Amino acid sequence: MKKLKPLIKCTITFEDANSEERKISYNIYYTGISKKWINMLLANKKDKEKYIHTSLFNSSYLDIPRLHKNITKTIKAINSVYDIQLPEYVDSVLNKTQLNDLHFMFEKYGDRIEADRSIFKENIHINFLRLNEDIHSYETALDNDASKFPDMTILLDYFPQTIFEDVQPIDKIYLKNNFQWGELYLGYNTLGKDWLAAVFDRDLDLINREEIRPQIRYAAETWLCFNGNPVCISNMQRFETFYNSLPDETKAKVPLDKLSEMALGRFILGEVIIDDEFLKFDSNIDNWKVPNSKTKQKWNEEVFSTFRKVVNIEINKEGN
């Protein structure tokens, strides 16, 4: 009798805004890259010196005043001790161009400490990492206006980061560029932006500066995606439209003849299990199967948006 492949289940426990625990479970695909991710996750989990760090991108336009206050506070903290002053936006809502500019300054900070570790200072570093998260949370809130399905995600990892793997050619067969509600992916784990992020943000300056950074390594960092389901191949159509709109000199900087090196997308690990955690919100299982359903939209807005941190991750294997 053929030996059955084990069923791998990952359960992530969150604490919400009311300090209550909520659990989301995933079926993990039995793939080479998923097995390597599991081994890294378990190795980090055994290290008592490490803790789970949660980056939240589950905000909506209603959160902009709170997020603006956070990012202003972070920038002021950086400017009080850093030798390069960042622009401060105290009164007005930030736009994507301003956020892109701030993100570029974050990347330049990262390049500086990689080139010269003697300038590293813990308090500055912590605030720059916080700034990066503030920027992405702010971008999420700007995108999630009342007129459309709210795209929401959470990124988790074990800190301090010490265990990494290089992306192998075989890993790239699991790259996916149309992200679905309820899917689980490897985190980007790279300082900067990849090609898809540059397209989504229409960051022409980044392309012209040739600062795009495709993913070449990964860690236990994990991306929980609860975005609205795209129509067919919309992200690739979006990429093509963006490329065709570029001036010739910018097009020449897009390496379409080296798609493997571009690493378009994220590495898929598994998919969410619609269990009692979801069915107590809406007991009709069919409503969870419909892309961009009202049930999924309301769950994002009323439940997922309240998640504040990850408190535990468990891996269970079942089968022979």
Q: Determine the pLDDT at residue 4.
A: 53
Q: Determine the pLDDT at residue 186.
A: 98
Of 143, 162, 177, the residue that ends a domain is: 143
pLDDT of 282 > 50? The answer is: yes
The residue-averaged pLDDT of 79-88 equals: 92
Cβ–Cβ < 8 Å for 211, 171: no
Q: Determine the pLDDT at residue 289.
A: 94
Please state which of the ranges 9-13, 117-121, 308-312 shows the lowest mean pLDDT. 117-121
Closest CA to 264 of 175, 183, 185, 187: 175
CA distance 316 to 189: 25
Q: How many CA atoms lie within 13 A of 300 on its CB side?
A: 29
The per-residue pLDDT for range 1-50, each reduced to its tens digit, is 555 566 899 999 999 999 999 999 999 999 999 999 999 999 999 999 99
Do 229 and 115 lie in one domain? The reply is no
Range of the structural domain that residue 68 is part of: 61-143
Do 279 and 228 lie in one domain? The reply is yes
Domain annotation covers residue 2:
no
Domain annotation covers residue 115:
yes
Do 225 and 309 lie in one domain? The reply is yes
pLDDT higher at 46 or 232 = 46
Beta strands (DSSP E) in 181-276 are 183-186, 217-218, 222-226, 266-272
For helices 64-79 and 122-143, angle between their N-to-C axes, nearest 10 degrees: 160
Do 123 and 190 lie in one domain? The reply is no
What confidence category does residue 320 fall into, taking pLDDT thresholds of 50, 70 and 90?
Answer: very low
Domain annotation covers residue 42:
yes
Place of tokens 């397209």: 199
Query: 253 CB contacts (<8 Å, ≥6 apart)?
Result: 207, 208, 210
- What is the model's pTM? 0.81
Do 122 and 271 lie in one domain? The reply is no
What confidence category does residue 60 fall into, taking pLDDT thresholds of 50, 70 and 90?
Answer: confident
Stated as kind and residue range, the H or E segment containing 308 is strand 307-318
> Can you give the CATH number for the domain in which 251 is found?
2.40.100
pLDDT of 145 > 60? The answer is: yes
Q: Determine the pLDDT at residue 195.
A: 92
Give percent of the chain above pLDDT 70. Answer: 96
CA distance 192 to 111: 10
Say how many domains are in the chain: 2
Domain annotation covers residue 54:
yes
Do 19 and 86 lie in one domain? The reply is no
CA distance 121 to 54: 22
Do 48 and 194 lie in one domain? The reply is yes
Please state which of the ranges 11-15, 248-252, 267-271 shows the lowest mean pLDDT. 248-252
